[in-house]
Structure 1
Amino acid sequence: MKTVNPTPENPPVLYRLDEGVAIISFNRPDKLNALTPDMLKSFFEHVDIAAQDAAVRVILITGEGRGFSAGLDLSVIGTGVSKTTALTRPTPPTKQWGDDIGPGLGRYFGQGWNALITSRKPTIAAVNGAAFGWGFILSVHCDIRFAGESALFNATFARLGVPAEKGIGWLLPRLIGIARAADLLYTARRFDGREAERLGLVNQCLPDAELMPHALAYAKQIAHNAAPRSLAAIKAQIWSAGDDCYDEAFRAADHEQDLAVQTQDFLEGIASLREKRRPKFKAA
């Protein structure tokens, strides 16, 4: 199929909702979804839309064509554009769904590319093809990653003479350990989906044809069976507990438990287990 450059009729980022799953797709396939200022701005806007929509239970990120995202468009590098606010996240909403559920994340993720982490919705990356540079970073900001066998990852920064950008030097060691993160960042080497699975960077590597069906079915399983309020609390716990001591995390969990047992979601969860049926949790 012939690919074309994005236009108003063929936007740089696609968005659709499928049974509670917001699917956000980079849509510049002829350039392996290399990021432009407008594309990145649109991406973050769509993440914020999904984060604010109570009907969205899970956010799934992928790329159209043969690539997830090849990173920042090389035509932008060295032009000065990369230093402008055009390549940063637009001003996020002051209030989004779930802000008041679970531990506060503002003390850890108060600026920068925090949209995928602070959304209070589970985020999943389905990495098809190239995930280089900033594309690699965006995938790592997700909670869960699946990769196709043709996926290629590359933390390109040392080869470009820049530091580990956009928080990747903080995130990557927490995901795979210091030694493995240092290897990927120091060498700036490419590695495939199978190695990413061995490193623990992706949850599973799948045949290319199975990647999106699996990722979407997985996302829908969460959307159909997990309480949105519970997901918001658990996500906040996951991303905050690593910087808390055990006692702080324990107290936070006890506090959330006291709140949760007073909700209709808790009653519905218990009833659905007893009646051996799918739960019918509220969207808000």
Structure 2
Amino acid sequence: MSDTPIRYDLADGVATITLNRPDKLNALTPAMLTDFFAAVARAGADPEARVIVVTGAGRSFCAGLDLAIIGGGGSGDVNPFPDTAPQWGDDIGPALAPYYSGGWPALITCRKPTIAAVNGPAFGWGFILSLHCDIRFASTSALFNATFARIGVPGEKGSAWLLTRHIGQAKAMDLLYTARRFDGTEAKALGLVNDVFDDEALLPHVMDYARSIATFSAPRSLAAMKAQVWTALDEDYATGFAAADKEQHLATGTNDFREAFSSYREKRAPRYTGS
């Protein structure tokens, strides 16, 4: 197994981005965030990557921000990440600024479907990372926690905005106000994850699911639908209807539209090109 903190693999149209710091439950560092955002951008720009899967190595999805690198003292401290960002010291505001804003919207603005395979604890910023994905599947050992109220901060990184849209106002407020832990089974009952699987079955299911989308769904159609869904709750019906009509008109002139019907008539898997 590679020792790089972010692993990137591409096969069968699926780009898999793995948080790879299992000894620290994949807790996030500046270097990991920088590399993670770069991996999302890489998949977004690669026509061979049709779907993006995000997961964690070992027994955790992501334990959140690595708190060991916050409050490390004054400017004389040794920087544990000399090739990336300066150490986050006691005054964490300015030093954290690039990681509070830069890169986080990439999972939403990327025109590829994103799927979180939550294989263990997803706390704090790890929880937020899963919220930014289009679809979430969890293992039976998954644990979720919106930790923010208990460390004196608001719902960070758009988490309150996202959580409300995923599960509704009252349920979102419960999770945010109490900062309690809940498992994959409750996450499914809340509507936060699409389904729950035994630990060993989670990733095989997610990969089969992702490969099916990559094989049978037209890339341009996926990109258009992702934009439609993410904007739907902030548009009125007439605006959404008009946008769909315009996109449909554009789609009927594409090669993928013609390929969809050709493959159906010829009883074969489609060969989409994204054009």
Same fold (TM over 0.5): yes
Quote the residue 2:168 is aligned against.
177
Quote the residue 2:147 is aligned against.
156
Q: Unaligned regions of 5+ residues in structure 2, if any?
A: 73-87
Deviation at 1:264, TM superposition (A): 1.0
Whichever residue aligns with residue 22 of structure 2, its letter is P
Quote the residue 1:128 is aligned against.
119
Deviates more, 1:129-138 or 1:263-272: 263-272
Deviation at 1:21, TM superposition (A): 0.4
Quote the residue 1:104 is aligned against.
none
The percent identity for this pair of structures is: 60
Quote the residue 1:199 is aligned against.
190
Aligned pairs for 1:67-106 (under 5 A) are: 67-79=60-72, 80-81=88-89, 82-83=92-93, 84=95, 85=97, 87-88=99-100, 90=102
Deviation at 1:242, TM superposition (A): 1.3
Compare relative contact order (CA 8 Å, sep 6+) and give the higher one, 1 or 2: 1
Quote the residue 2:80 is aligned against.
none
Contact 2:101 2:157 in 1 (8 A): no
RMSD: 1.4
Whichever residue aligns with residue 153 of structure 1, its letter is F
Whichever residue aligns with residue 45 of structure 1, its letter is A
Quote the residue 1:30 is aligned against.
23
Deviation at 1:278, TM superposition (A): 1.1
Deviation at 1:78, TM superposition (A): 3.4
Deviation at 1:86, TM superposition (A): 5.2
Structure 1 CA distance for aligned equivalents of residues 146 and 36 of structure 2: 21
Deviation at 1:145, TM superposition (A): 0.3
Whichever residue aligns with residue 265 of structure 1, its letter is D
Aligned pairs for 1:270-281 (under 5 A) are: 270-281=261-272
Structure 1 CA distance for aligned equivalents of residues 65 and 29 of structure 2: 7
The two structures have a TM-score, normalised by structure 1, of 0.87
Aligned pairs for 1:225-244 (under 5 A) are: 225-244=216-235
SS in 2 for 1:138: helix
Quote the residue 2:107 is aligned against.
116
Deviation at 1:10, TM superposition (A): 1.5
Alignment of 1:168 with 2:137, yes or no, is: no
1:220-241 CA-partner distances (Å, limit 9, x unpaired): 0000000001000010111112
Deviation at 1:187, TM superposition (A): 0.4
Instruction: Name segments (4+ residues, structure 1) moved above 6 Å.
Output: none
Deviation at 1:283, TM superposition (A): 4.3
Structure 2 CA distance for aligned equivalents of residues 148 and 205 of structure 1: 5
Quote the residue 1:107 is aligned against.
none
Q: How many residues align?
A: 256
Deviates more, 1:69-78 or 1:128-137: 69-78
Quote the residue 1:102 is aligned against.
none
Deviation at 1:87, TM superposition (A): 2.7
SS in 2 for 1:166: helix
SS in 1 for 2:272: coil
Q: Residue 218 of structure 1 is aligned with which of 194, 209, 220?
A: 209
Alignment of 1:62 with 2:74, yes or no, is: no
Q: Unaligned regions of 5+ residues in structure 1, if any?
A: 4-8, 91-111
Contact 2:100 2:157 in 1 (8 A): no
More helix per residue: 1 or 2? 2
The two structures have a TM-score, normalised by structure 2, of 0.90
